[in-house]
Amino acid sequence: MTTNYFHDPALAEMAGRVEAGERLSFEDGIRLYRSDDLHGIGRLADIVRRRKHDRATYFNVNRHLNPTNYCYADCKFCSYFVKHNQEGGYTHNLEECLKIAREAHEQGATELHIVGGLNTRLPFSYFTDMLTAIKREFPDLHLKAFTMVELDFFANFYKMSDEEVIEKLRAAGMDSCPGGGAEIFAEETREKICTHKTDGNRWLEMSGKVHRAGLKTNATMLYGHVETIEDRVDHLVRLREQQDRSGGFQCFIPLAFYPPGTQLSHLPGPSGIDSLKTMAVSRLMLDNIDHIKAYWVMLGKKLAQTALHFGANDLDGTITGGGELMESYLVENRSDNEASKEEIIELVREAGFVPVERDTLYRPLHSYAAA
Ligand code: V47
């Protein structure tokens, strides 16, 4: 490739290594972030994106189920949780959970994404009964359920080994796990935003155990709050190392911090440029995670569409009536709050890519023609 594409000589130097498929270092990640050559960064990420997926862009049809918003963790970035002595708390009973699953099924969803608060007033059987009942009625609905933080909480609170927790949930119907709760691994920063939460090493350890049990998981990074660029690149390197060890991450999702209603509401959140850079740096650093998701719910549709040119190859799902957790961080522009399948297909086509409807495990279900 001609180096003339790059204004920044650091990127021109990196281009050869990216084309040769060489692994980038921590310092490379910092250099990418510090560069103001946005086109150059995007171009590098696009080389890798096209090598892995060509023009395919994935989405699925899914629905969220957030069983309870009671949570003791008190994370500063979260506007969803309430404590047991506060108003506004809820816990869905089994019938309500089944109703949401039924609606999802009727709307053509192939996946139910289940996450909730760390509720100290529920028995473990609440969760296994919920999974069992949903699976009994909808055996084909993929249950992407519980973050590593929830699994860690279950093991501690119900006094079981990690393996026992994973096995019991799997037997009840858990098919894979979502990527939440990773936030930012760097210890000092994590301490500032989520003191009471599972620490980064434990999050990674639990992922390894789920992978070894044969289940896939996703991974996330919450950015745009009080973290540094070094914290972000450290997060990506630690995920890459865990993937080398256990290999079960199928998708990475950078989550743009949305401040309203949180204890960090005085912060501005990340800019659009920062989000595009983060997408590209994630694609370039995570050479062993196949899929990078531009989560349109948090980025907004327009930025998510642009992110497809910055390394992303997945837009997540259509949201047909969101769960309560997701609604707490939906971007302000209300027209961005829903997307039909047709709209997602059009967003992908307009950006110059080929829409592919997938299941949770990235098996193609239906491919649509390019524009
Ligand atoms: O862990 C919480 C984040 C995560 C805010 O695996 C916030 O496919 C921004 O992990 N602003 C949960 N982010 C959501 C999540 C997820 C979403 C979509 C797909 C998948 C997947 C996973 O949301 C939390 C936290 O990092 N979060 N509050 C906020 N105010």
CB 228 within 8 A of CB 265: no
In the reported structure, the alpha carbon of residue 31 is separated from the centroid of ligand 1 by a whole-number distance in angstroms of 27
| pLDDT > 70: percent of the chain | 94
Q: Does the pLDDT at position 135 exceed 60?
A: yes
Nearest CA, atom 15, ligand 1: 180
The whole-number pLDDT of residue 53 equals 98
Q: Measured from the CB, is residue 6 less than 6 Å from ligand 1?
A: no
Q: Does the pLDDT at position 4 exceed 80?
A: no
Shortest-distance atom of ligand 1 to CA 80 = 28
Average pLDDT of span 55-74 = 95
Q: Candidates 207, 220, 293: which one to mutate for ligand 1, based on the most atoms within 8 Å of Cβ?
A: 220
Instruction: Map tokens 């997060």 to a residue.
Output: 235
How crowded is residue 286: how many other Cβ atoms within 10 Å of its Cβ? 23
CB 308 within 8 A of CB 353: yes
Per residue in 56-74, is it b (16+ CB within 10 Å) or e — as a string? bbbbbbbbbbbbbbbbebe
Shortest-distance atom of ligand 1 to CA 297 = 18
Question: Predicted confidence band at 317 (pLDDT cuts at 50, 70, 90)?
Answer: confident
User: Phi-psi category of 91—alpha, beta or left, where left has phi over 0 and alpha has psi -120 to 50?
Assistant: beta
CB under 8 Å to 38, separation ≥6 — which residues? 273, 276, 277
Spatial separation of the C-alpha atoms in residues 341 and 94, rounded to whole Å: 29
Spatial separation of the C-alpha atoms in residues 28 and 31, rounded to whole Å: 5
- Going by DSSP bridges, is the β-strand pair 142-145/217-223 parallel, antiparallel, or unpaired? unpaired
Helix H or strand E encompassing 168: helix 162-172
* Cα Rg, the chain, nearest whole Å: 20
The whole-number pLDDT of residue 326 equals 66
Nearest CA, atom 23, ligand 1: 180
The whole-number pLDDT of residue 334 equals 45
How crowded is residue 318: how many other Cβ atoms within 10 Å of its Cβ? 23
CB 130 within 8 A of CB 145: no
Q: pTM for the full model? A: 0.96
Can you point out the beta strands (E) in the chain? 56-65, 111-114, 142-145, 217-223, 249-256, 291-292, 314-319, 354-358, 364-367
Average pLDDT of span 315-334 = 66
Nearest CA, atom 2, ligand 1: 78
In the reported structure, the alpha carbon of residue 155 is separated from the centroid of ligand 1 by a whole-number distance in angstroms of 22
Q: Measured from the CB, is residue 262 less than 6 Å from ligand 1?
A: yes
Mean pLDDT, the chain, whole residue set = 94
Spatial separation of the C-alpha atoms in residues 357 and 27, rounded to whole Å: 36
Q: Measured from the CB, is residue 295 less than 6 Å from ligand 1?
A: yes
Q: Measured from the CB, is residue 298 less than 6 Å from ligand 1?
A: yes
Per-residue pLDDT tens for 226-278?
Answer: 999 999 999 999 999 999 999 999 999 999 999 999 999 999 999 999 999 99
Q: Measured from the CB, is residue 180 less than 6 Å from ligand 1?
A: yes
Cα-Cα-Cα-Cα torsion 214, 119, 139, 343, nearest 10 degrees, comes to -90
Q: Candidates 255, 293, 330: which one to mutate for ligand 1, based on the most atoms within 8 Å of Cβ?
A: 255
Q: Measured from the CB, is residue 145 less than 6 Å from ligand 1?
A: no
Average pLDDT of span 61-72 = 94
The whole-number pLDDT of residue 337 equals 66
The whole-number pLDDT of residue 321 equals 57
Task: Assign 313 to helix, strand or coil.
Answer: coil
Nearest CA, atom 27, ligand 1: 78
In the reported structure, the alpha carbon of residue 322 is separated from the centroid of ligand 1 by a whole-number distance in angstroms of 13
Per-residue pLDDT tens for 23-42?
Answer: 999 999 999 999 999 999 99
Q: Measured from the CB, is residue 178 less than 6 Å from ligand 1?
A: yes
Q: Measured from the CB, is residue 270 less than 6 Å from ligand 1?
A: no
Q: Does the pLDDT at position 13 exceed 90?
A: yes
CB 185 within 8 A of CB 200: yes
Spatial separation of the C-alpha atoms in residues 219 and 227, rounded to whole Å: 18
Question: Predicted confidence band at 320 (pLDDT cuts at 50, 70, 90)?
Answer: low
- Going by DSSP bridges, is the β-strand pair 142-145/354-358 parallel, antiparallel, or unpaired? unpaired
Cα-Cα-Cα-Cα torsion 362, 364, 365, 370, nearest 10 degrees, comes to 130
| pLDDT > 90: percent of the chain | 89
Per-residue pLDDT tens for 206-226?
Answer: 999 999 999 999 999 999 999
Per-residue pLDDT tens for 329-349?
Answer: 555 544 566 788 999 999 999
Q: Candidates 143, 207, 222, 318: which one to mutate for ligand 1, based on the most atoms within 8 Å of Cβ?
A: 222
In the reported structure, the alpha carbon of residue 302 is separated from the centroid of ligand 1 by a whole-number distance in angstroms of 19
Instruction: Map tokens 């560069």 to a residue.
Output: 35
CB 77 within 8 A of CB 298: no
Q: Measured from the CB, is residue 71 less than 6 Å from ligand 1?
A: no
φ, ψ dihedrals at 51, nearest 5°: -65, -40
